[in-house]
């Protein structure tokens, strides 16, 4: 499919406007040397600067007419019909990543969401710590250290996400009923997990520029919203940042968390489907013939 210049340049401009709206506050904070423990997570943990979101890509199988300025872009190729993402070349350089992404996304989508974790991974990351050992040292613990430890020790913990579990404190590790690892990630991920949902943005970035710009921003926006719930339900007191806590140590807080968790799982599913289509398109581009 080939897009006329007038069509794709309008999509490019719309993408830039939306990316600016989503990242302007973070860019301004960086300019002032300020940090935000909730909103900056997607730029610090995932290590992609806000500017990476501003560049629009059409996705695999789409050619752009009159797009000579993109001919030298990484993982792009030119043809008489236009310039587009070189799916075969991208796959050749990132085949393990593409296959892992597809395995994780497909396996996650094939499971029923588990909605009873209550965000306890964040609590397990500060279990039995001293004040100096808290990850977000600038934020107070809503229940204090003793109260936080009591919540961890009085709940069942079944964290299935390796990138959350690896930050558990040594005393919290044996409290987790699961032992997720990087290698068994496809066997462990489940769609109710907030971190698995945030990782849709991670996969979108890792598959870039094969991911259409609109899908990338959809994944980022969902991850941003999930991060807010993650911190509202955490042991940290984020009220000073304008966020009402989700008190998961109470029945009411648990119910609120599960409702939001279910909504996020529903929002994530179509994005996961679209990312799977990107993986399949890349794998197909690399087939002989």
Residue 51 lies in a domain: no
Q: Tell me, what's the pLDDT at 125?
A: 95
Q: Tell me, what's the pLDDT at 117?
A: 93
Percentage of the residues of the chain whose pLDDT score is greater than 90: 87
pLDDT-derived band at 68 (thresholds 50, 70, 90) equals very high
Q: Work out the widest C-alpha separation in the chain, in whole angstroms.
A: 68
In which element (H, E) is residue 13 found? helix 5-32
Contact partners, residue 84, CB within 8 Å, separation at least 6: 58, 60, 61, 62, 63, 64, 76, 77
The DSSP result for 84-145, as a single string, is: EE-HHHHHHHHHHHHHHHHHHHHHHHTSPPP---TTHHHHHTTTT--GGG-TTTTS-BTTHH
Q: Tell me, what's the pLDDT at 30?
A: 87
Q: How far is the C-alpha of 128 from the C-alpha of 75, rounded, in Å?
A: 47
Residue 280 contacts residue 228 (beta carbons within 8 Å): no
The DSSP result for 155-196, as a single string, is: S-B----HHHHTTS-TTTGGGBS----STTHHHH--TT-HHH
Q: How far is the C-alpha of 41 from the C-alpha of 22, rounded, in Å?
A: 14
Q: Tell me, what's the pLDDT at 44?
A: 87
Residue 19 lies in a domain: no
Q: Tell me, what's the pLDDT at 289?
A: 55
Q: Tell me, what's the pLDDT at 135?
A: 73
Q: Tell me, what's the pLDDT at 137?
A: 64
Task: Please state the rounded mean pLDDT for residues 24-42.
Answer: 90
Residue 212 lies in a domain: yes
Task: Please state the rounded mean pLDDT for residues 107-114.
Answer: 95
pLDDT-derived band at 138 (thresholds 50, 70, 90) equals confident
Residue 177 lies in a domain: yes
Task: Please state the rounded mean pLDDT for residues 182-204.
Answer: 95
Burial 240-268 (b: 16+ CB within 10 A, else e): eeeeebbbbbeeebbebbbebbeebbebb
Res 288 pLDDT > 70: no
Q: How far is the C-alpha of 279 from the C-alpha of 9, rounded, in Å?
A: 25
Residue 164 lies in a domain: yes
- pLDDT tens per residue across span 73-102: 999 999 999 999 999 999 999 999 999 999
Number of domains in the chain: 1
Residue 2 lies in a domain: no
Task: Please state the rounded mean pLDDT for residues 131-159.
Answer: 89
Residue 77 lies in a domain: no
Residue 38 lies in a domain: no
- pLDDT tens per residue across span 208-263: 999 999 999 999 999 999 999 999 999 999 999 999 999 999 999 999 999 999 99
- pLDDT tens per residue across span 116-132: 999 999 999 999 998 76
Q: Tell me, what's the pLDDT at 46?
A: 87
Task: Please state the rounded mean pLDDT for residues 281-285.
Answer: 95
Q: Tell me, what's the pLDDT at 49?
A: 86
Domain residue limits at 109: 87-285
Residue 246 contacts residue 232 (beta carbons within 8 Å): yes
């Amino acid at each position: 499919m080939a897009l006329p210049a007038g069509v794709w340049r309008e999509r490019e401009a719309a993408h830039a406007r939306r990316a600016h709206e989503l990242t302007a506050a973070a860019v301004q904070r960086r300019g002032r040397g300020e940090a935000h423990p909730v909103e900056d997570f997607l730029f610090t943990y995932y290590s992609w600067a806000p500017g990476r979101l501003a560049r629009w890509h059409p996705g695999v199988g789409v050619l752009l007419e009159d797009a000579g300025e993109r001919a030298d872009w990484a993982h792009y190729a030119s043809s008489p019909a236009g310039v587009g993402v070189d799916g075969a070349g991208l796959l050749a350089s990132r085949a393990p990543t593409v296959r892992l992404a597809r395995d994780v996304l497909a396996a996650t989508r094939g499971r029923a969401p588990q909605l009873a974790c209550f965000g306890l991974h964040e609590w397990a990351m500060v279990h039995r710590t001293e004040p100096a050992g808290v990850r977000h040292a600038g934020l107070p613990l809503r229940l204090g250290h003793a109260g936080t430890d009591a919540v961890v020790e009085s709940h069942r913990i079944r964290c299935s996400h390796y990138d959350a579990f690896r930050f558990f404190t040594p005393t919290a590790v044996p409290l987790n009923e699961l032992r997720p690892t990087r290698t068994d990630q496809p066997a462990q991920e489940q769609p109710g997990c907030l971190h698995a949902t945030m990782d849709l943005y991670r996969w979108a970035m890792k598959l870039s520029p094969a991911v259409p710009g609109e899908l990338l921003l959809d994944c980022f926006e969902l991850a941003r919203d999930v991060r807010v719930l993650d911190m509202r339900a955490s042991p940290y007191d984020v009220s000073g940042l304008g966020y009402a806590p989700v008190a998961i140590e109470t029945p009411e807080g648990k119910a609120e968390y599960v409702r939001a968790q279910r909504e996020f799982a529903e929002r994530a599913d179509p994005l996961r489907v679209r990312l799977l289509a990107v993986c399949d398109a890349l794998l197909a581009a690399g087939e002989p013939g």
